[in-house]
């Protein structure tokens, strides 16, 4: 989806969907992301570029099976509730974004590689990074698990 100024997403919008390729949100504005709005059964690559998400509810982004998740290129996340991003992905690239208000456990990430360089964090409430865990199933496939902050 490209250049959508008021993208409306409802709960369970993507339930039951598997994406074998890429799902891309570029230059979109989402004022409200309800629970389970972006809850794919599986997705190979989920990417967000230059977009804005105003309020993301618990499990707004819920990916149980994901190869790669990218949020890049000056995307802005205004308010992320607890567990707003609940994902299990081999590779996370959360770089060069602005996070205005992160709540306790906002980022529930299970990762093989997590790159969080160049982000701006305006306000942290509680411990937003406490639920970030390495993906132990990948240990036999890659030599090291890594987090780059």
Positions of E strands within 2-145: 18-26, 29-33, 42-49, 52-56, 61-72, 76-80, 85-94, 98-102, 107-115, 120-124, 133-134
Distance CA 48, CA 25 (A): 5
Q: In tens digits, what is the pLDDT along the chain, a chain of 149 residues? A: 898 999 999 999 998 899 999 999 999 999 999 999 999 999 999 999 999 999 999 999 999 999 999 999 899 999 999 999 999 999 999 999 999 999 999 999 999 899 999 999 999 988 998 898 888 765 555 555 667 77
For the entire predicted model, the pTM comes to 0.89
């Amino acid at each position: 989806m490209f250049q959508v100024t008021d993208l409306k997403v409802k709960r369970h919008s993507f339930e039951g969907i598997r994406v074998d390729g890429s799902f891309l949100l570029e230059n979109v504005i989402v004022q409200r992301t309800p629970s389970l709005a972006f809850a794919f059964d599986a997705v190979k690559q989920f990417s967000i570029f230059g977009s804005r998400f105003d309020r993301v509810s618990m499990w707004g982004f819920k990916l149980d099976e994901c190869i790669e998740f990218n949020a890049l290129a000056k995307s802005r996340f205004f308010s992320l509730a607890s567990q707003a991003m609940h994902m299990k992905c081999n590779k996370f690239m959360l770089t060069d974004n602005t996070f205005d208000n992160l709540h306790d456990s906002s980022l529930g990430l299970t990762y093989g590689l997590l790159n969080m360089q160049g982000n701006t964090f305006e306000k942290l409430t509680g411990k937003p990074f406490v639920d970030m865990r390495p993906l132990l199933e990948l240990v036999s496939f890659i030599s090291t698990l890594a987090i780059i902050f």
